[in-house]
Amino acid sequence: MGHDSQPSCPKARQKVLAQLSNKQIAPPKVFGDISAADLMDSAFLSYNGGRLREAGQLLATRMTSEETTLGLSLSGALTPAGLGMSCLVPLIEAGFIDWIVSTGANIYHDSHFALGMSLHQSRPGLDDLLLRENQVIRIYDIIFEYDNLLGTDSFFRAMARSKPFQTTLSSAEFHHLAGGVLAKREEENGLVGKSFLAAAHRAGVPVFTSSPGDSSIGMNLAALQLEGNGLQIDPLKDVNQSAAIVWQAKRKGQSGVWILGGGSPKNFMLQTEPQIQEVLGLEESGHDYFLQITDARPDTGGLSGATPQEAMTWGKVDPEQLPGTVTCYLDSTVALPLLTAYTLARAKPRKHKRLIEKLPALMEQLKESYLASKKK
């Protein structure tokens, strides 16, 4: 009959309840003057609301502690919706984000704002043929002029033709240089704080892209290659630099990953641990903290890199740290502003780690560890 044939005693039931939960569901009334952080703590109790509350608490405590190096992966069209300036810039300025993996598209569209271009709120279901005839571009319910693309293309081509770019760079090194140019444009145009890439430059935050050719930036750099331009993006250097960041983080403290969406940026961020363990043969146990915001499902193969439990089998997540993992099935455009408000309200700003400036030393440490392991 199973083990429910005999009722358990009240003391046993209370013991089980105490082990699984220390708080009853009895939230206070919600009023209009409540802060986002207080709302999440008091009213986001169950289902994905509960997971979002757990995500905020994990972020504001262990993932943004001084000992944790926190990486953020970005997929989906987040920056065209203004989430770069509203959320990513404050998080970077507060020292909460130490390194980033982004789609090239998020970086490209982020650049519009630093260049003084405008994007506009609209609605889905517009007449796309009419938009095409009037040279208006649509990203779901965001619209902007086609000239924005032409102007941003021109900016990247002119910048990449300049002397500092005539060499082989990792995508993080390229974006650091590009972020410096955008930061200067922001200052000239009175637009400081509009671009997360410019903010990352100021804070020394490395910004990688896992697919350098898969964006308008990569398309323009490919055109320059046909001209004989000296710029080359080295994706293999990206693999080693990102692994070096995580290798040093785990030797000195903890490593946390915050994943918005999935796709290539998620996998690139998580593959740092298999690179260290499986490929380089170095002793490691996986990322300590794993926070994922996604609307994909694992059973269709669409949840890139899958759940933290599955990622554990690849060595991507430390099995002893599974309590430090949260997966929230929610749209990133809903979760990111709430998590930003929560973290800024609950956590103290941190000193910037300025990892972009430490990459050469981190790479040397990884190389030394790898070569030493091969001699054993």
Assign 3-state DSSP to the chain and report helix, strand, coil percentages, each to 5. 55, 15, 30
> Tell me, what's the pLDDT at 1?
45
Q: What tokens appear for 294 in the block? A: 């996604």
Tell me if 311 sits within 8 A of 273, measured CB to CB: no
Residue 190 to residue 166: CA distance in whole angstroms? 29
3-class secondary structure, 257: strand
- Diameter of the chain measured on Cα atoms: 80
Tokens 């981190």 locate to: 362
Instruction: Give Cα separations from 254 to 222, 240, 285, 335 (angstroms).
Output: 38, 19, 11, 24
Rounded average pLDDT per 10-residue block, the chain, 376 residues: 60 76 86 97 95 95 96 95 98 98 97 97 95 96 96 98 98 98 96 97 97 95 97 97 97 94 92 94 91 82 64 63 79 97 98 98 97 85
Which are the catalytic amino acids? Answer: 316
Instruction: Enumerate the domain spans of the chain.
Output: 49-374
User: Residue 110 and residue 77: Cα distance in Å, rounded?
Assistant: 10
Token pair 């796709």 is found at: 263
Q: Which of 66, 32, 72 is nearest to 339 (CA)?
A: 72
Question: H or E stretch including 226?
Answer: helix 216-226
**CATH placement of domain 49-374:** 3.40.910.10
Whether residue 300 contacts residue 321, with contact meaning beta carbons closer than 8 Å, is answered with no
Instruction: Please give the backbone phi and psi of residue 257, each rounded to the nearest 5 degrees, phi first.
Output: -125, 135
* Cβ pair 189, 111 in contact under 8 A: no
Neighbours of 289 (CB within 10 A): 26
Distance CA 235, CA 329 (A): 31
DSSP state of 28: P
* pTM reported for the whole predicted model: 0.91
pLDDT, residue 205, reads 98
d(CA 290, CA 259): 8
Q: How far apart are the first and last CA of the chain?
A: 57
Give the Cα separation of 114 and 25 in Å (integer).
46
At residue 375's C-alpha, the angle toward residues 316 and 273, to 5°, is 10
| H-run or E-run covering 58 | helix 47-58
Q: Which residue has the tokens 């910037």?
A: 352
| Cα 101 to Cα 305: distance, rounded to the nearest angstrom | 15
